[in-house]
Structure 1
Amino acid sequence: MRVSGGLVYRVDPHATSGRTVSGMNDGYTVGTVAELAGVSVRTLHYYDQVGLAKPSSRNAAGYRLYTDADLVVLRRVVFYRELGLDLGDIADILANPDVTDEDHLRRQRELIEQRISRCHAMLTVIDQELAARAAGIALTPQQRRDVFGGDRLLEHVDDARREWGDTPEFVQRQQRTARYTEQDWMRLRTELATINQELAAAMARGLPATDPIAMDLAERLRQHTHHWFHDCDYETHRGLAEHYRVNRRSGRNYDDMAPGLSQYVHDAIIANCQRANPPDIDRMRNGSASQMRPPGAAGTGVSGQVSRLADGQQI
């Protein structure tokens, strides 16, 4: 917007043209004001017709000119219009004799702050939609709120995409979840929450992580990831257990359910992997399985992120 204050633009040396000379002004022509204000001549004529901003002077040739005082009024009209007020509201504001110049400026500043806030909110919505699309979550914003209970899901999606976006597991996860409906997400979220609650209950009962009940629950966790997100063999699941143990956010999410639960889940998964495939696990521990991914490899990290994405308690 180019109109400001008393509009002290020095753009032409000829006073008779309706422009300024050395600080003295005989007025501004409609064309000049349209250029400086960033509005059309037609708009200025309309503001004149409805009485919002009228040129109050004339030059020797009889052309109507805007004075500095007229430009102050026009500036207010243009500002308020730019901020979304309709012309009727603007007319009411300008007609109030008790409103000072400072009042207008304060009101305009408040309106600008409100617009900035709305723009930030719009940016947030756009970022959330981009994150959801990148994660393969084909739900409406309202459905995502219904399923995941807020926006924290998308924060974890961004983390996972930045860290593991090039891995086969992440690609497979995107391909699968892109087809999921709201009912699918509700089902998998409920399923995982149930498993985690049963793990917390087993720990509360004093069952060791090596108990068959705890190991069976760990196996259900593995099968859940394998079914809903991506292939999850015992090697990958063992890495997921390490993720729960060493990743502060994942561990905290489990421990928020029950103090010590992250370590318990880790131990139950390790015990289940040993039960299912002890020779491979022993070789991994001895560092002799050079063809196998080590704990914390790319696929492992995705598993940890995916588990947090699906679990309502952990997001």
Structure 2
Amino acid sequence: MADPRIDDGLTVGAVAELLGVTVRTLHHWDEIGLASPSERTPAGYRIYTDADLGRLERIVAYRDAGLGLDAVREVLDDATTDIGTTLRAQRAQLADRIEELRRLDEQLERLTDAHERGILLSPEEQTESFGPAWDADDAAGARAAWGGTLQWAQFAERSASRTKAEWQALAADMAALQQALGDALDAGVEPGSDDAGALAERHREIFSHFFPLSREMQVCLGRMFASDPGFAAHYDGIRPGLASWFARIIEESARAHGIDPDQAVWR
């Protein structure tokens, strides 16, 4: 229970309970001269009068409205202060903060969705961006396969801020690369040649828009393109034999950069 009323005043404990603040807060306000008790007992204990309590109630009201203690002091003590102007300024700051929090909430929502969905485009937008052969369910499959990896997290973080136009530009770059790969295979470009190395490096640069792709990781990808039935069918559908040829040019490019493809691991 709070301390009882003493004569014509209240003890600090009783005031703290009445106002819903802590005794420490009241002591602090006393120390900075914002709200000091008018009386003390012979033993030195603080005693708040009704007038003191009225000031404290105003302090709590303005503090709860978001004003800092300096602003509260001005409102209470400076006769030239227009309280309405001060409160309107506080509301304007609050509106800015609300807008900032709204934007933050939108960013968090997109980031959450990106971790769960991968690509933040509707199935119709994905088809429009990636072509009629694209299956929007592939993104769900990718999350099931790689959702716990660092690369999926990096992919999601970049996806969260990527626009439809940027997805379309990436899809166009990848389509152009695949066409160039098919043309190079038709032209008899040999793995290990400068032209083949340039194509492998072009692939690594484009793919690195999704997550950082080391040359060792690229070797692992190339092998997956050749061995996975779905990927192999995709590349061999562009040109027969393209999947295995693509894997070979990636391996030779890695070798040219001092990496033994046979020792390559995902790192």
The answer to whether the 8 A contact 1:136-1:175 is kept is no
Q: Who is 1:256 aligned against?
A: 237
The answer to whether the 8 A contact 2:219-2:250 is kept is yes
Q: Is 1:178–2:160 an aligned residue pair? A: yes
Q: CA deviation at 1:160?
A: 1.2
Q: Who is 2:178 aligned against?
A: 196
Q: 2:177 & 2:204 partners in 1: Cα distance?
A: 11
Give the structure-1-normalised TM-score.
Answer: 0.46
> 2:242 is aligned with what amino acid?
L
- Counterpart pick for 2:194 among 187, 193, 212: 212
| 2:191 counterpart SS class | coil
The answer to whether the 8 A contact 2:114-2:156 is kept is no
- Counterpart pick for 2:151 among 140, 158, 169: 169
Q: 1:170 & 1:195 partners in 2: Cα distance?
A: 23
The answer to whether the 8 A contact 2:118-2:143 is kept is no
Q: Is 1:143–2:143 an aligned residue pair? A: no
The answer to whether the 8 A contact 2:115-2:157 is kept is no
Q: CA deviation at 1:253?
A: 0.3
| 2:207 counterpart SS class | helix
Q: 1:131 & 1:263 partners in 2: Cα distance?
A: 35
> 2:145 is aligned with what amino acid?
E
Q: CA deviation at 1:140?
A: 3.9
Q: Who is 1:267 aligned against?
A: 248
> 2:172 is aligned with what amino acid?
T
Structure 2: segments with no counterpart, 5+ residues: 1-111
Stretches (4+) displaced over 3 A: 130-133, 149-153
- Return closer, same or farther for 1:266/1:131 CA change in 2, 3 Å cut-off: farther
| 1:153 counterpart SS class | coil
Q: CA deviation at 1:132?
A: 7.4
> 1:223 is aligned with what amino acid?
E
Q: Who is 1:238 aligned against?
A: 219
- Return closer, same or farther for 1:165/1:202 CA change in 2, 3 Å cut-off: same
> 1:248 is aligned with what amino acid?
P
| 1:255 counterpart SS class | helix
Q: 1:206 & 1:151 partners in 2: Cα distance?
A: 28
Q: 1:268 & 1:214 partners in 2: Cα distance?
A: 6
> 1:235 is aligned with what amino acid?
E
Q: Who is 2:98 aligned against?
A: none
Q: Is 1:224–2:206 an aligned residue pair? A: yes
The answer to whether the 8 A contact 1:200-1:261 is kept is yes
The answer to whether the 8 A contact 2:113-2:120 is kept is no
The Cα offsets for residues 195-216 of structure 1, whole Å up to 9 and x where unpaired, read as 1111110110111122210110
- Return closer, same or farther for 1:151/1:165 CA change in 2, 3 Å cut-off: farther
Q: Alignment RMSD, CA only?
A: 2.3
Q: 2:181 & 2:126 partners in 1: Cα distance?
A: 26
Q: CA deviation at 1:185?
A: 0.9
Q: Who is 2:6 aligned against?
A: none
Q: CA deviation at 1:192?
A: 0.7
Q: 1:141 & 1:246 partners in 2: Cα distance?
A: 28
The answer to whether the 8 A contact 2:223-2:247 is kept is yes
Q: CA deviation at 1:133?
A: 7.1
Q: 2:221 & 2:240 partners in 1: Cα distance?
A: 19
- Return closer, same or farther for 1:168/1:132 CA change in 2, 3 Å cut-off: closer
Figure out how many residues of one structure are paired with residues of the other and give that number. Answer: 156
The Cα offsets for residues 235-290 of structure 1, whole Å up to 9 and x where unpaired, read as 111111111121111011000000000011101101111112x2x42xx63x5xxx
Identity percentage of aligned residues: 24
Q: Is 1:159–2:141 an aligned residue pair? A: yes
> 1:262 is aligned with what amino acid?
A
| 1:232 counterpart SS class | coil
Q: CA deviation at 1:146?
A: 1.3
Give the structure-2-normalised TM-score.
Answer: 0.54
Higher RCO (C-alpha 8 Å, min separation 6): 1
